[in-house]
Structure 1
């Protein structure tokens, strides 16, 4: 199946194409309004399709022909309006030949002409095959030319079912009417007598008999007899389809005259017509449709007055009369179903009342009534009536459940449309992607990004290539694409105060031209993200975040400014796509920059550790940051995205005598493990500052997000899992990420005492090393533990060490 989403706009959206909908659409269309007419059926006409009147069929086809001839009218067959959102925006799910098209339509006005749904009666074994709604029998007869074999029983408490009885009799079927009321309308009695229909007043259905199909109906009341029949057509009245009118929060009200709920009101620009409004009758529907259409086009500011509608030449509507049977009296022994899809019976309603589930919302959830695909369209009113009777309440007091979109079941595919796979989460590429692709790079998916994994100058597999790339950085100089880092421009008079509240460490007094590593917590006291922020001027800061948290970090900052600290004069803007960056790392990195930027002072004095400076180069601004993710002397070079590739190539050419080459993500990640830097695998929104060994960073005097909750007892428990370094003691074995950690004396089962977060081969130590989280952390330093990998039934011995495997004093960083 193919799914797609289409956005549209119109002046008038008409829901339903019965007589009210056709009239409304044609009236608005004649006035020149942009009209969309949505009909869930494959054909337009609504209730008209189930009538055999030649006059009505001619009226329907004439109206449709005129609508199809109007260029300003769009007809949507097989299209169900699923929901009303945000004023006058509606979603319309249209079935197509090979899938579904979801229309998202913003209409200036909406006319709901969705008709009404017939209700069943409640009696024993009312789910037997052959028991049908009276309107369904009429539809089979007139629309599909299908009739019962010989005999039918029509059970009703209202006048509408007589049209089915008359149609059956005219088709040669013997008909008996079980009339719940004592005195049916006189004209109906006369017409029934003329057609040879037997009417039993004050009579209901006691039971049905039959094996795989209906064979007999037992009546109760004044006429307690058994009647052989092929079909039982039942009608318990009609419920206006008020669902769409309630999606905006306006609850329906109960109308005693029709024994049903009707719309409780309308927002501006919303209207209803015909049976959806509780006005039953063809001429009433036509009048309603024309009236509300004229109101809608007036509201749209359309001055043209449309021609009046031609009224079908039929007799005047007869008043809708209904007599409501007491629901509790219908709950006789046997399975009397209210919800035919979820098999909810009258006894279930009684039991819910006994158990105290009196509210209609509680009743729904206790019994699952109305939770199937029809969402209670046929069953809910009977259930509400039963519960109201058991509680001694009126129907208005009992109320309805809350109606929510979608109106009918909707596939997830329809909601997604084409937004699946790469179309849902588009592939992101750095400004250097094309250069990398052309220069022997193998890529890897890292979240939404395609990142440089390794380069073929170092090897043909990641296992061999990253080791050579690491050796290059440790002994010479390499260059890596770090454009995927989140980059946020923070500006304003209160920028320093803002960052001082966001980060756990102080930023208020950070000097201009300096960078600082910072950690931010969420309001639960858990680490949200880390990164470096540089002060460019007194009122401007340049923040970098991890690649994974770039979007969430930006959203967090905006949320704080818009919802909590509205008094701060600060603006934030994402530069992640506007700027790119590269890391130049290794003992020879300063020499490389001196060759690339001979006019810039990148000495220890000119650009000390954690120093920042902007330089002019090649007609653009280049930002030099002396930062290190590798643990070596290193710099980051940032510039506008369209200048990244030329600058990258310039540095490679200028520093070629030093043997500079690019290195990829695998080597970059391995270098940071050797240095003991935490990254995404450790920053998983479950760990605190203290878990990651960063507790000493937190300022004691200033307030910051998460300050109080990070000190809660559970977060300070001495046996929490916290960061440790791990060395493999069995070089002939392999150390695997996500292995479960156990003490040497533990039984190897369960969740253990921690797990490995990151693992690599160390070119410095010539062994496998890892970072992990272990219960009690570094107080177990020097102990031997076990790492178990149950998927391969492997166990290896490890030693707990400091997570900083190289250069613990930081001499290389400050070289």
Structure 2
């Protein structure tokens, strides 16, 4: 079995020819081998058109062999597991893999949107800014939709992601990023000193370039040397090797973010990816180098690829990238590529070498191998449509191209060797800018804080011997900085280690952008269709900074972040601006180094795990009773208890009316509950609240208003004094955590001399409010051994009582305006006490009601809640100014008397009733004078709305400028979202039982 017509008869270091793998490509069955990537398997099967480009929808093929891939983007999976924009060289082949092309319709070979290429003169750099400016009203309904349909990449599934992701954190002495020759040497050296080492490699295998081309290391084959080093590292107790793990971000204090690929689309039920946060004492960067492309007409056609990629596919995967391959270069890299491909069994028809013949060694190995060596020549155009069919070349006369001396070579693949550039993205994440080495034509790492080291090609080293030695030196320095004593041995025989090609720097840089003699576009960014002409146009139009160039042309803004485009773009800019790459500079590199799944960042913190629901003890009963459950802050609470077929709105009105008529019970376990104890607890309470608390006797409760330091209202609630030095403070559900933190902060910083302590007891008590005319009868039935008369439990009294043999607490308090009692039961007994209350209260008409009915009741009585306590109001604004004490110190007391907070024009709380009783008022609607228009006339807003059964009308609370003086006035409630306006009458905040007689009835 060959698994494809382009599979070589021999070779393939990384594949298992005895383990075929079945997969589908664009719904067609294909076969590869275990160890293949999707890219190598597709190339082996003769698939050349993989996807279409962003703007022109030109055909795109496999261009690289790693995560720098700009063109071979694919979508894998179906439905919820659809994963777009994956780079084919990084997708590990596995059984049942479903992969397809993207950004094309109806197929990659015939894409109707390729008509964009005919309009290329219109789609030049910056055409978005020039074309879609007018009319402005067309942008969203027309332009944006057209652009999104015409341009783009793959489509993300709109279904919930079914895969799981996990997180991990680790600390190590030395983190080595990159497991090529330099990274392996650095890790081994640091590990041998006793340091805890983590080695991170983006690919599934170690070795870097040594694993992708034939080489020897000393007297060993590269494969044997890598295997030996891998076994040593895997066996070491203090070494962790992470394969298929990309270091995507470098942050302050030597923190590195990693994403490890664990399984393809969770096919084995395990997590798909692991997100690592690594805190390293020392970091060694062995990130290697990235081969660079060449710019000539048609250089984007499928079949054109980087030379090192062509070698890698032949050596590691046993795949020929073509049947007639031409190599294009300008240094020994081209010669090495041609020789390696020929030895692997790939038919190389020519090497197009820009160097003059007299500059080369006369003993040309290509001639002996039967490969035509065309010196003093450059590529000018790749012919073909959906695949390369030939290459046109031109001869050089000195440094000029001789248009009269051209030739066409028939071929189906072109391997371009444009030199190498150190991979510096990660090192630049701390904000440093790389420096340019004019002599070698490369950018070098920026200066970095202590504890960061560079090794190998990313440090500018060339050749295997120098790379390995720099790795040893960097590993030793990192270990020494931590107090370890590494024994650094120099290479035994550096000459023997030089039998593998290393990164090459230098002369090829001057000829990266070839002239366009035969017409056609010379592409720089293959993903975003940025051409040499686009760069020239941007420069003519004034976009001369490299940062402006990037944004105006979208150069380097694709999923590869310009790894194969930025340097070529700098050379193109240099040609028109007359500057070198060093003077042009580089753009800012930011995390992530490669695209990472949002799911990996979120990990398990999604859905309910992102913000876990807090459940009251009685929730099982609520669900069984058919409650409509909602999220209220962090809590899961019953909104209402609709009967079968009954709308929630009708259930809310029914429940609210029943409380007024008989009795209802509501679960308020979500209220914040804080225990405060200590000898100075009375003083603490008195300072916390704006109203007086020192006179509160044991066994009584009092409504309290808490201010922030700036004098605005923080929260309200009740303060129950259980004993002389023991209090129970209740807060609103939303502010429970904030109030607790506020008190803790004061006790630990401002009031350190006060002897008191606080603790949250919100989860200790299950709390229920029993309200309505029959509430006292229900309470008597629930606590038969307790005196529940008005004399025993007057308004705002707190009493201990026994229910079901469990100690409970009763507080006579009302949020509804009816006679009401709050029952506090230990949480473990909460469900039992709730059920008991409903059982014994049934003869008295007791029924449950939800949070919506509770809101209706409180609005009818004008009680404030979260919508009114929005952090912008004072006690006076909400009508509670008279209850605050002015002669005692309290938090916020110093700033509450600022003149601006007492301006009569401030919005004050008012009641609002529409002239049309059924008008659909909305919370958030704006209030303005009758007949006025526009936002400038806005004088307030509606904060809370209820459809009141007691008032037989829609009612609302709101904040209106000068509201205290505007009772009886008619104003407009304007909802700009629905463009609706309703007339409302301003009045008092209490709509029902204004004298409070029902509270004590």
The answer for the alignment partner of 2:21 in structure 1 is none
Instruction: Check the 8 A contact 2:668/2:768 in 1, yes or no.
Output: yes
Aligned residue number for residue 518 of structure 1:
705
2:507 equivalent in structure 1: 323
SS for the counterpart of 2:991 is coil
CA distance in 2, matches of 1:390, 1:722: 67
Q: Give the structure-1-normalised TM-score.
A: 0.78
Matches within 5 A, 1:268-283: 270-283=452-465
Counterpart Cα distance in 2 of 1:385 and 1:492: 74
User: Is 2:210 the partner of 1:51?
Assistant: no
Moved more, 132-141 or 35-44: 35-44
Q: How does 1:237-316 map to 2 (within 5 A)?
A: 237-249=419-431, 251-265=433-447, 270-294=452-476, 314-315=497-498
Name the SS for the 2:762 alignment partner: coil
The match for 1:228 is: 408
Please say if 1:216 is aligned against 2:366.
Answer: no
- State yes or no: 1:584 paired with 2:770: yes
The separation in 1 between residues aligned to 2:893 and 2:407, in whole angstroms, is 77
Counterparts of 1:93-492 in structure 2, within 5 Å, are 93-94=260-261, 96-99=263-266, 100-106=272-278, 108=280, 109-123=282-296, 126-143=299-316, 144-150=318-324, 152-156=326-330, 158-168=331-341, 170=343, 171-179=346-354, 184=359, 186-187=360-361, 190-192=364-366, 194-195=368-369, 196-201=371-376, 210-212=384-386, 213=388, 215-218=391-394, 220=396, 221-222=399-400, 224=402, 225-229=405-409, 230=411, 231-249=413-431, 251-265=433-447, 270-294=452-476, 314-315=497-498, 320-323=504-507, 325=509, 335-349=521-535, 359-384=545-570, 399-437=585-623, 443-454=629-640, 462=648, 466-467=652-653, 469-488=655-674
After superposition, the Cα gap between the structure-2 partners of 1:522 and 1:254, relative to the gap in structure 1 and judged at 3 Å, is farther
Q: Which residue of structure 2 lines up, in the alignment, with residue 87 of structure 1?
A: 254
Superposition deviation, residue 408 in structure 1: 0.4
Instruction: Give the CA RMSD over aligned residues.
Output: 5.5
**Residue by residue, what CA displacement relative to the aligned partner does 1:157-180 show, whole Å, maximum 9, x if unpaired?**
x54343223334554423233336
Once the two structures are TM-superposed, the CA of residue 612 in structure 1 deviates from its matched residue by: 6.3
Asked if 2 retains the 8 angstrom alpha-carbon contact of 1:336 and 1:345, the reply is yes
Matches of 2:655 and 2:913, distance apart in 1: 23
Deviation at 1:135, TM superposition (A): 2.0
Change (3 A) 1:107 1:737: closer
1:666 is matched with: 852
Task: Check the 8 A contact 1:600/1:615 in 2, yes or no.
Answer: yes
The whole-number CA distance in structure 2 between the counterparts of 1:390 and 1:709 is 67
CA–CA separation in structure 2 for the residues paired with 1:303 and 1:263: 27
Deviation at 1:413, TM superposition (A): 2.2
Q: How far does residue 671 in structure 1 lie from its aligned partner after superposition?
A: 1.1
Contact in 1 for aligned 2:929/2:937 (Cα 8 Å)? no
Alpha-carbon shift at residue 15 of structure 1 (Å)? 2.9
Distance in 2, Cα, partners of 1:397 & 1:797: 67
Secondary structure of residue in 2 paired with 1:98: helix
Per-residue CA deviations over 1:22-50 (Å, capped at 9, x if unaligned) read 44455566778765543323443321233
Q: How many residues align?
A: 806
Measure, in 1, the Cα distance between the counterparts of 2:378 and 2:741. 63
Q: Which residue number in structure 2 is paired with residue 5 of structure 1?
A: 166
CA contact (8 A) 1:477 1:659 kept: yes
Deviation (angstroms), 1:433: 2.4
Query: Residue deviations 1:35-86, cap 9 Å, x none?
Result: 5543323443321233134722333344445555667665544332222345
Question: Does the Cα contact within 8 Å between 1:740 and 1:751 map onto a contact in 2?
Answer: no
Q: Cα–Cα, structure 1 residues 785 and 315, in superposed 2: closer, same or farther, change >3 Å? A: closer
**CA distance 1:646–1:121, shift in 2 (3 Å):** same
Mapped partners of 2:806, 2:929: distance in 1: 59
* Structure 2 residue 732 is the aligned partner of structure 1 residue 546: yes
User: How far does residue 101 in structure 1 lie from its aligned partner after superposition?
Assistant: 0.7
Matched residue, 2:14: none
CA distance in 2, matches of 1:782, 1:323: 87
Residue 258 of structure 2: SS of its match in structure 1?
strand
Mapped to 2, the partners of 1:712 and 1:120 lie a distance apart of 66
Distance 2:990 2:437 in 1: 76
Deviation at 1:482, TM superposition (A): 0.9
Report the CA distance shift for 1:122/1:632 in structure 2 as closer, same or farther (over 3 A): same
Deviation of the 1:122 alpha carbon: 4.2
Partner SS for 2:660: helix
The 1:46–1:383 alpha-carbon spacing in structure 2 relative to 1, beyond 3 Å, is same
Distance 1:42-1:89 versus aligned 2 partners, 3 A rule:
closer
Distance 1:331 1:18, change over 3 A: same
Q: TM-score, normalised by structure 2?
A: 0.65
Q: Pick closer, same or farther for the CA change 1:205–1:438 going to 2, 3 Å.
A: closer
TM-aligned CA deviation for residue 582 of structure 1: 2.5
Q: Distance in 2 between matches of 1:254 and 1:623?
A: 76
Separation in structure 2 between the aligned mates of residue 265 and residue 198 of structure 1, nearest angstrom: 42
Q: Give the CA deviation at 1:377.
A: 1.8
Once residues 123 and 710 of structure 1 are traced to their aligned partners in structure 2, the CA distance between those partners, rounded to angstroms, is 72
Q: 1:409: Cα distance to partner? A: 0.8
**1:488-512 CA deviation, whole Å, 9 max, x = no partner?**
5678999999999987x45797857
Q: Please give the per-residue CA displacement for 1:124-163, whole angstroms capped at 9, x wherever unaligned.
A: 554344443222232344344214443524133x543432
TM-superposed CA distance for 1:117, in Å, is 0.9
Q: CA deviation at 1:112?
A: 3.0
Alignment partners' CA distance in 1, 2:579 and 2:886 = 62
Alpha-carbon contact 1:431-1:642 (below 8 Å) kept: yes
Deviations 1:384-433 (A, max 9, x none): 56667888888667654433321101121222234332232323201232
Q: Distance in 1 between the 2:750 and 2:439 partners?
A: 55
Tell me how far apart the structure 1 counterparts of residues 694 and 355 of structure 2 sit (CA, whole Å).
85
Equivalent residues of 1:725, 1:804 under 8 A apart: no
Question: Taking structure 1 as reference, are residues 345 and 696 closer, same or farther at Cα in structure 2, changes over 3 Å only?
Answer: farther
Aligned with 1:160: secondary structure?
A: helix
Q: 1:462 to 1:173 in 2, by over 3 A?
A: closer
Query: Counterparts of 1:696-735 in structure 2 under 5 Å?
Result: 704=892, 723-726=910-913, 729=916, 735=920
Residue 40 of structure 1 corresponds to: 202
Kept in 1, the 8 Å contact 2:921–2:982? The answer is: no
User: Would the aligned equivalents of 1:36 and 1:73 in 2 still touch at CA under 8 Å?
Assistant: yes
Distance 1:386 1:493 in 2: 78
Superposition map of 1:762-777 within 5 A: 762-771=948-957
1:216 to 1:613, Cα distance in 2 relative to 1, 3 A = farther
> Which ranges of structure 1 fall in alignment gaps of 5 or more residues?
none
Q: Which runs of 5+ in 2 are unaligned?
A: 1-80, 82-162, 267-271
Distance in structure 2 (CA, Å) of the matches to 1:579 and 1:154: 78
